[in-house]
Amino acid sequence: MAHIRTKKELYERELTPAEEQLIEACQKGEFCQLGDGELPPEGTPDPSRHVRADVLRYLILGGCDDCIVDDIGVWVEGAHVTGTLDLDFTTTRGAIRMHNSRFKERIDCEQTKCRQLDLNGSDLQGLRGQAMKVTGNVFLQEITTHATIDLRSATIGGQLNCKKATFEVAEKAEPEASEISPSKRKGQM
């Protein structure tokens, strides 16, 4: 499927109530709580929490001239994200803050440039972040991941914090961070 690049392409999709709420919050630079803000249950997403990965990608990258995302970026709690979030080789607008969110597929961030990546409390199907550049912090506190977190050759300007994270992964039981510069390992793992 082609990536969303315009407001017209965005609205050609039948947006869920959660997507409409998130778009409005991102344009205003406001926090967006979906449902009760807690981690959504497994299974079929409730429309009030369902955000498709291609819509989320569009917002994380800043929208377009007709639908500009505020400089703060995306800040949401309680989303149920379907589809692969493909941010490979992109530069994000602002921070990515996705607290207590359930991702049904992997997050791809190879060589992505962003200010902050905060997935605290989320349920992941893995994160592929080789050579990503984060000027601020990467927060993976209290996440549960069911596949590998790969941060080889990543540059993190702030801290990498995986406090109380659960790695339910058969092939690797911890984040792959062997090539992160020692001066960049300020956080907990």
Domain boundaries, the chain: 7-138
pTM for this entry: 0.89
Beta strands 160-161 and 32-33: pairing type? unpaired
Is the pLDDT at 53 greater than 80? The verdict is yes
Helix axes 17-28, 53-60, angle to 10 degrees: 10
Is the pLDDT at 44 greater than 80? The verdict is yes
Q: Would you call 42 exposed, middle or buried from its count of C-beta atoms within 10 A (0-12, 13-18, 19+)?
A: exposed
Average pLDDT over residues 138-143: 98
Mean pLDDT of the chain: 92
Is the pLDDT at 30 greater than 60? The verdict is yes
pLDDT of residue 174: 55
Among the listed residues 97, 3, 94, the one whose alpha carbon sits nearest the alpha carbon of residue 52: 3
pLDDT digits (tens, 9 = 90+) for 146-160: 999 999 999 999 999
Is the pLDDT at 177 greater than 90? The verdict is no
Average pLDDT over residues 55-81: 97
